[in-house]
């Protein structure tokens, strides 16, 4: 690779569970990565979003959603794909408790893989990873939306999405390095577009000094744009995430290669991949599949570039889920939910107004969140 440029390769969500256990035990890297492996190895630095704690002792925390876990031996799969950095700020890194998070970091470091986005406390988790290669200094910052994994104090966990603090860290890193790469784990699962809030936030990170922003979490491919010379990929989709969901959108993902040069905008390219139910677990798309994927991606990009269309799609998506969301927060039982979804019953308007005021007002929301957190201990 060139001494005046730095090629950084990034994958989407990687969860080494299910069939990966047999492939890892047999060291069948072709069966896991197939024709994608040579592409993965063509880089200076590669960063994988490791969305699963690597630990040999299950310590599942009480939470909503699944508690993921994979044995520490599966670190071999990261070595096989040439991973240099594991991005750990995601909503599953604390699934097996504080020790599971620390075990993952220790296992990565013991196998020559740096980590970013998680640590023994908030200070460690939010510290940028500084990479120096080919005469360039790159700062990598990794944060996650606040579900069950983030740390705000002296306990282990993931670096939280905290726009004010994140912006300060980005600005400080930009002053001390040649470029800043921000990786955000957030968004709405199975929704292929960012919300208007996400667009404002990711562009704000660029305004604060990010040279590129990469998004994970939604499990489907999202659009990309170049804002003030900085590429923003809103979601890379899945890299390898064997799960019961077998939809094409779940199986498809993107790999992104960023090329950093001092004082120049970041070059970028993406490569479409697909998870298989047979043969190698992932593969490159055929020429026709790739053309079709690009057409679909361009359609998403067109919506992203039009604020009114982006807002209209967001409104439509929320409307489809509004009754389930409201039923959940009101704590309706099964029969109430059924009547509500069929529009045979509706909650008291005053009750909804009080709820909206608590959630929308920052001061009220602070009290509500802190009160629930104390009750949940």
**Mean pLDDT of the residues in the chain:** 96
Tokens representing 69 are 């876990």
pLDDT the model gives residue 156: 98
Give tens-digit pLDDT for 345-377: 989 999 999 999 999 999 999 999 999 999 988
pLDDT digits (tens, 9 = 90+) for 159-218: 999 999 999 999 999 999 999 999 999 999 999 999 999 999 999 999 999 999 999 999
Residues facing residue 225 across a β-bridge: 232
pLDDT over 90 (residue 243)? no
Token output for 289: 């599949």
279: alpha, beta or left, given left = phi > 0 and alpha = psi -120 to 50?
left
Instruction: State the pairing for strand pair 230-233/224-227.
Output: antiparallel
Whether 239 shows a pLDDT value over 80: the answer reads yes
Exposed, middle or buried by CB within 10 Å (0-12, 13-18, 19+), for 204?
A: middle
Q: Which among 224, 221, 94, 223 is positioned nearest to 152, based on CA atoms?
A: 94
Between 307-330 and 287-304, two packed helices, what is the crossing angle to 10 degrees? Answer: 90
**What span, in angstroms and rounded, lies between the C-alpha atoms of 329 and 346?**
14
Residue 80 clears pLDDT 80, i.e. is over it: yes
Max Cα-Cα span within the chain: 68
pLDDT value at position 318?
A: 96
pLDDT at 139: 98
**pLDDT for position 288:** 98
What single DSSP character describes residue 219? S
Using only the alpha carbons of the chain, give its radius of gyration: 21
**For residue 85, what are the CA distances in angstroms to 113, 116, 142, 277?**
5, 7, 11, 28
Whether pLDDT at 1 is above 60: no
**Model pLDDT, residue 251:** 95
pLDDT-based confidence at residue 244 (cuts at 50, 70, 90) = confident
Is residue 307 pLDDT above 60, yes or no?
Answer: yes
Q: Are 154 and 183 in contact (CB under 8 A)?
A: no
Q: Are strands 267-275 and 282-284 parallel, antiparallel or unpaired?
A: antiparallel
pLDDT at residue 278 in the model = 74
Q: Which domains are delineated in the chain? A: 6-305 (3.60.21.10), 309-376 (no CATH)
Q: In terms of C-beta density within 10 A (0-12 exposed, 13-18 middle, 19 or more buried), how is residue 125 classed?
A: buried
- Measured distance CA(364)–CA(26) in Å, rounded: 55
Residue 2 has a pLDDT of: 58
Positive or negative torsion for Cα 196, 198, 201, 204: negative
- pLDDT tens per residue across span 253-297: 999 999 999 999 999 999 999 998 778 999 999 999 999 999 999
Give the model confidence (pLDDT) of 93-132 as tens digits. Answer: 999 999 999 999 999 999 999 999 999 999 999 999 999 9
pLDDT at 4: 86
Tokens of 125: 């988790």
Global pTM reads 0.96
Average pLDDT over residues 26-37: 96
Please calculate the CA angle 275-280-284 and round it to the nearest 5 degrees: 60
């Amino acid at each position: 690779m060139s001494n005046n440029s730095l090629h950084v390769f990034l994958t989407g969500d990687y969860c080494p569970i299910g069939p990966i256990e047999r492939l890892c035990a047999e060291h069948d890297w072709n069966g896991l990565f197939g024709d994608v492996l040579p592409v993965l190895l063509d880089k200076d630095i590669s960063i994988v979003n490791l969305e699963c704690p690597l630990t040999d002792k299950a310590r599942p925390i009480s939470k909503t959603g699944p508690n993921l876990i994979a044995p520490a031996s599966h670190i071999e799969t990261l070595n096989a794909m040439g991973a240099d950095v594991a991005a750990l700020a995601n909503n599953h890194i604390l699934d097996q408790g504080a020790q599971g998070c620390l075990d993952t970091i220790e296992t990565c470091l013991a196998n020559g893989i740096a980590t970013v986005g998680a640590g023994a406390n908030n200070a460690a988790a939010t510290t940028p990873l500084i990479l120096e290669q080919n005469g360039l200094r790159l700062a990598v910052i990794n944060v996650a939306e606040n579900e069950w994994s983030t740390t705000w104090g002296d306990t282990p966990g993931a670096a939280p999405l905290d726009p004010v603090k994140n912006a300060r860290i980005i600005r400080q890193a930009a002053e001390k390095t040649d470029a800043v790469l921000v990786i955000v784990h957030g968004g709405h699962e199975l929704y292929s577009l960012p919300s208007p809030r996400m667009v404002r936030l990711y562009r704000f990170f660029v305004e604060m000094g990010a040279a590129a922003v990469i998004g994970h979490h939604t499990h489907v491919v999202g659009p990309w744009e170049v804002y003030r010379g900085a590429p923003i990929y809103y979601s890379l989709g899945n890299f390898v995430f064997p799960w019961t969901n077998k939809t094409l959108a779940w199986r498809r993902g993107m790999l992104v290669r960023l090329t950093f040069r001092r004082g120049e905008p970041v070059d970028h390219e993406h490569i479409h991949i697909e998870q298989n139910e047979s043969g190698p677990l992932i593969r490159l798309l055929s020429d026709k599949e790739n053309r079709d994927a690009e057409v679909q991606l361009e359609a998403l990009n067109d919506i992203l570039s039009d604020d009114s269309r982006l807002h209209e799609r967001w409104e439509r998506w929320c409307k489809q889920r509004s009754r389930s969301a409201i039923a959940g927060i009101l704590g309706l039982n099964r029969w109430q939910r059924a009547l509500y979804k069929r529009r045979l019953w509706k909650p008291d308007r005053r009750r909804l107004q009080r709820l909206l005021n608590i959630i929308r007002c920052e001061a009220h929301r602070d009290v509500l969140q802190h009160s629930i957190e104390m009750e949940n201990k």
